[in-house]
Amino acid sequence: MFVNYPVLMLLAIPATMLFWIWRYNVSGHQVVIPVDNAQINQNRIWKYLLKITASFPSLLLIIAILILAGPQQISEPKTKKKLTNIQFALDVSGSMTAPFGEGNRYEAAMGAINEFINYREEDAFGLTVFGDHFLHWIRLTSDPSAFGYATDFLGPRRLPIWFRGGTKIGLALEECMKLLVEREEGDRLIILLSDGYSADLGGGKDIEIANKLLANNISTYAIHIAPGSPPPQLLTITNRTGGEVFAAGDPLALKAIFNKIDQMQKTKIEKVGAESMDYFKPFAMAGTSIALIFLLSLFGLRYTPW
């Protein structure tokens, strides 16, 4: 197809030129030799060779008109990875300093997060830390390099005591939701890591938050980094939003949980519609070839009256 269809009307000019060349003799008349008034019969092979070479300028004009008309072609449909927006909600209350493996719960959680984002390429990640208050330390970004520097700055012992005195999971989930609803493209996911019970999820607050998350298409996974069973409120929230709650009793279990989340939240591929693109190459190659042959023909193939 062509972008500038009206330009194709100019093809009538080279078409008329070709009609004249092939309908009539190149010379228009047979040549009379002035010596004896005898007529010379033309050789048929040479006659057609001359007409072919005489047609080259018209063919070049056709190529030029087609290029000016803007030839287009439809590209093949492509696929791309569908973006997943993942906001981590990390508990930094004082209890996260409890021993866990070779370090403490906070260090194990940050290590698992950094390992997780390394094999989730092209997704967007954010980090919110919370205790009695919350802090959006890393807003959603496709460049996760900031996570590698966050561990040393966000340890519970480095934060003010008024910040890490409690565990408000409900507050953290609602604030993470506010960030995710701003993202119009891609799936939305919260991964919560905590080791305690949250007082702000009682009295039906867990159901209220779950309904808000569900209404905004936000799935929630919760990881309980402590011995024993996770709080029942987390089970309510994760079940209603299509996620799941896990209990991690040791670092190996924590790593396995992140692997499972990765499997449950499979990378999605979506098709990208085909696009129109310029299609000059075959016309340019044809024009170049014709011009070269025509140039070579001028060294010997041309009409002479005797």
Answer whether residue 153 shows pLDDT above 80.
yes
| pLDDT cut 70: percent of the chain above it | 85
Which comes out higher in pLDDT, residue 66 or 184? 66
Rounded to an integer, what distance in angstroms lies between the CA atom of residue 180 and that of residue 102? 34
Contacts of 84 (CB under 8 A, 6+ apart): 120, 123, 124, 186, 187, 188, 189, 265, 267, 268
- The answer to whether 206 and 240 have CB atoms below 8 angstroms apart is no
Tokens 């919260």 belong to: 190
HEC letters along 262-305: HHHCCCEEEEECCCEEECCHHHHHHHHHHHHHHHHHCCCCCCCC
Convert the pLDDT of each residue in 218-251 to its tens digit.
999 999 998 888 889 999 999 999 999 999 888 8
Model-level pTM greater than 0.75?
no
CB-count burial class (<10 Å; 0-12, 13-18, 19+) for 43: exposed
CB atoms within 10 A of CB 264: 12
